[in-house]
Amino acid sequence: MSDKTILVIGTYDTKDDELEFLAGVIREQGGKVVTMDVSVLGDPSRPTDYSKHDVAQEGGSSIAAAIASGDENHAMQIMAKGASLLSARLYAGGTFDGMIILGGTMGTDLALDVCSALPLGVPKYIVSTVSFSPLIPPERLAPDTQMILWAGGLYGLNSVCKASLSQAAGAVLGAARAVVLADAKKPLIGMTSLGKSALKYMVPLKPALEERGYEVAVFHATGMGGRAFESLAAQGAFACVFDFCTQELGNFVNGSNISAGADRLTNAGLRGIPQIVAPGCYDLVDIVGWQAVPQKWADHPSHAHNRLLTSIVLNDEERRQVARAHSRQLAKARGPVALLLPEHGLGEWDREGADLHDKAGLEAFLQELEASLPPNVQTYRIDGHINDAVFAEQALRIFDAWRADGVVAA
């Protein structure tokens, strides 16, 4: 099984031994290796397949310019740009099947850019001293990035770090051998939701869209899921989006750590991808459940969903603020936008008779939203709840009309 090639990237001037160990494990398992040096000041003990000069030149600069800048951050950004462009070009040319990068904070900063430059499905592994750290913002993570903590690996080889490195080597080679790449034969629909206890529309919509010849990917809108959704939208991966759980935007507006980033609800529109949108669970802000509730939420009702996640219920003015944020994001769209507004609730827990039912709060949100919406958004008030059949039926009517008009590719 020597048919898969792994691109190994790192600063070979300071981590030569570790990178060589990593490559050696891959070769021992029958894989092939291509090496790329992203050092600036020093040189590797032996030549790499792609030198630091190749990397800097690919990014439109040079090692001399990186050194002359006198700033390590600027220098590494030169290398990050070059490594991203070079990796993308090499993959497009069939040079490698999977990629692994080793580093501390500097190397991880570069690694995040390289991972984002490669298509979905290309195995991407980061071995880092700051894996899973809050230093890494969700918007920097490519949808399918894999990470492993480089335990005991700050300086030199030892039995502790070899355990991490050898696992990572086996993982990236195994992934390259096993990966089933995305099927481009069917146009892809991106949909956002939460679990079926809160939002249920995907149950009727997924089979209905599949019957029409589309593939449907449903993203869990709890921060990283929305990040993956936005990342793929920015790549133009979707024929249309059914973005029916925009709670992450409210999380961002209210400073929650459970965020998909500042660009939530924008990337599909910026690419001109048709959007059918509904503000599902707009009334809740999720916070990290194992941390103390911030003082700003002390007087708000809350619900502990599990030990990881707690939901805060917004008041009327906070709901209006979230409504205005929706309007600002949707105003950036360059494609058609249909906004569905169910008048009986936007989450299972706010139905009439349920714990979070608040008719006045819902109407305050809907009125503020309609008053602030840009002219590029067409609204549809629905006499029903987001989990009622009438909601899914309206979404399909819009989708079918767009298909008939050629707005959505068949």
3-22: pLDDT as tens digits? 899 999 999 999 999 999 99
At which of 178, 207, 231 does a domain end? 178
pLDDT band at 231 (very low <50, low <70, confident <90, very high): confident
Q: Are residues 246 and 107 located together in one domain of the fold?
A: no
Neighbours of 10 (CB within 10 A): 28
Q: Are residues 209 and 93 located together in one domain of the fold?
A: no
Q: Are residues 71 and 150 located together in one domain of the fold?
A: yes
DSSP H stretches of helix in 235-378: 247-253, 267-270, 316-330, 359-372
Distance CA 22, CA 8 (A): 8
Q: Are residues 201 and 156 located together in one domain of the fold?
A: no
Asked if 61 contacts 69 with a C-beta cutoff of 8 angstroms, the reply is no
At which of 118, 144, 178 does a domain end? 178
Nearest to 168 by CA among 110, 81, 92, 103: 103
> For residue 120, is it within any domain?
yes
> Residue 137: what pLDDT?
83
Query: Exposed, middle or buried: residue 109 (CB in 10 Å: 0-12, 13-18, 19+)?
Result: buried
> For residue 99, is it within any domain?
yes
**Could you give the angle at the alpha carbon of 220 between the alpha carbons of 204 and 105, nearest 5°?**
160
What is the tally of structural domains in the chain?
2
CATH number at residue 322: 3.40.50.12030
153 pLDDT above the threshold of 90:
no
CATH number at residue 53: 3.40.50.12020
Q: Are residues 326 and 385 located together in one domain of the fold?
A: yes
Q: Pairing state of beta strands 309-313 and 284-288?
A: antiparallel
> Residue 303: what pLDDT?
84
Question: Tell me: the pLDDT tens digits for 188-229?
Answer: 999 999 989 899 999 999 999 999 999 999 999 998 899 889
> For residue 329, is it within any domain?
yes
In the chain, what are the helix, strand and coil shares in percent, each to the nearest 5?
40, 20, 40
Q: Are residues 331 and 233 located together in one domain of the fold?
A: yes
Q: Are residues 118 and 165 located together in one domain of the fold?
A: yes
Q: Which domain holds residue 270?
A: 188-405
> Residue 141: what pLDDT?
85
Q: Pairing state of beta strands 302-304 and 309-313?
A: antiparallel
Question: Tell me: the pLDDT tens digits for 275-324?
Answer: 999 999 999 999 999 988 999 999 999 888 889 999 999 999 999 999 99
Q: Are residues 285 and 364 located together in one domain of the fold?
A: yes
Q: Are residues 304 and 198 located together in one domain of the fold?
A: yes
Distances (CA, A) of 69 to 50, 59, 66, 175, 339: 23, 15, 5, 39, 49
At which of 178, 204, 234 does a domain end? 178
Distance CA 35, CA 357 (A): 58
Q: Are residues 173 and 244 located together in one domain of the fold?
A: no
**Could you give the angle at the alpha carbon of 203 between the alpha carbons of 197 and 206, nearest 5°?**
140
> For residue 315, is it within any domain?
yes
Asked if 8 contacts 26 with a C-beta cutoff of 8 angstroms, the reply is yes
Taking the complete model, does pTM exceed 0.75, yes or no?
A: yes
> For residue 17, is it within any domain?
yes
Q: Are residues 230 and 347 located together in one domain of the fold?
A: yes
Q: Are residues 100 and 206 located together in one domain of the fold?
A: no
> For residue 183, is it within any domain?
no
Q: Pairing state of beta strands 145-149 and 124-128?
A: parallel
> For residue 410, is it within any domain?
no
Torsion angle of alpha carbons 54, 59, 63, 68, nearest 10°? 170
